[in-house]
Amino acid sequence: MLRRLKHMKPTPTSRVFSRLVICSALLTLGLSLSGCKRETTGGSDFSAARHERGTQIVAEYLKRDAAPYRKQRVRLSITSTSEPNKVYELDIWRKQTEKETLTLTHVVQPADENDLAALSIERKGEPAINVTYVSSTDEFRETGTNKMFFGGLTAQELLGEWDKYDYTLVDEKNLDGVKVMDVEGTLKPTAESVLARTRTLFRSDNYLPAEMHLFDSGGKEMRTFKVKKYNNVAGRDVVWLTEIENHLRPTTVTVEILSLDFPDRVDEAIFTRDRLKQLSRK
């Protein structure tokens, strides 16, 4: 996974943009002390199997989504009852290897904001960071992924950061006539995020998400993602149009892919701080 701040007017210091909670121990694990039943081998095996299957589903989705290089133009339409509506177009370049994913995001529309750009760096086993360049002070700034940006979305939601969670298959059911696999993610003890729990409905036919529900540590739903359109590009099934409801503020964000390409090669200089500096000085 796809990045201005409050009122869509970011300050120079924040010019960055744009992916089972273990059931009750009494029910899932059957633990007992002082009168409760002991965990049965069958119950333990069933729980382990659901965890394994949930992990497999997410891994399959990420495998199908992976590409050495990706270039896309994305339109973000932000509708709010308390602020003026805004429309942004972003150019997003992604370079992906087994150990690292680099994403350069550049606002190209509106034209008076095309000096906004960010370089996101995701490395296995390390917290993801967003790098921006502040021309007024001639310095680069690094931030985490929990800050809110377009329409109140966090950078994490635009990037994905799937490896922050442990996964369990909760259910298999039908959604609008399509079979889906309901997978719940819980934040790993070593990871940090305002998103403590996720529920993602993956389509059984192509492993793409159909819906995603994001919750805070208190169990309150923060955001709801619903995929409205899919497409096929170069033989790949891809998400094309997504609507996101932000339940913490009266905002809806529509994310639409305008163009998508998987080039064999790109200029490696795209993913450097020098390129970020050039774009931020336009």
Q: Is 27 contained in some domain?
A: no
Report pLDDT digits (tens) over 126-177. Answer: 888 889 898 888 999 988 766 655 556 666 666 667 888 999 999 999 999 9
Q: What is the rounded CA–CA span in Å between residue 118 and residue 23?
A: 39
Domain containing residue 127 = 6-19+56-280
Q: Is 1 contained in some domain?
A: no
Indicate whether 32 pLDDT > 50.
no
Q: Is 224 contained in some domain?
A: yes
Q: Is 97 contained in some domain?
A: yes
- In eight-state DSSP terms, residue 152 is G
Q: Is 50 contained in some domain?
A: no
Q: Is 172 contained in some domain?
A: yes
Count of domains observed in the chain: 1
State pTM to two decimals. Answer: 0.79
Confidence of residue 7 (pLDDT cuts 50, 70, 90): very low
Q: Is 40 contained in some domain?
A: no
Strand locations in the chain (E): 69-80, 86-96, 100-109, 117-123, 129-134, 139-143, 165-175, 178-187, 197-203, 209-215, 221-233, 236-246, 251-261
Q: What is the mean pLDDT of the chain?
A: 83
Q: For residue 84, what is the domain's CATH number?
A: 2.50.20.10
Q: Bridge partners of 261?
A: 71
Q: Is 43 contained in some domain?
A: no
Report pLDDT digits (tens) over 84-138. Answer: 999 999 999 999 999 999 999 999 999 998 998 989 898 888 888 889 898 888 9
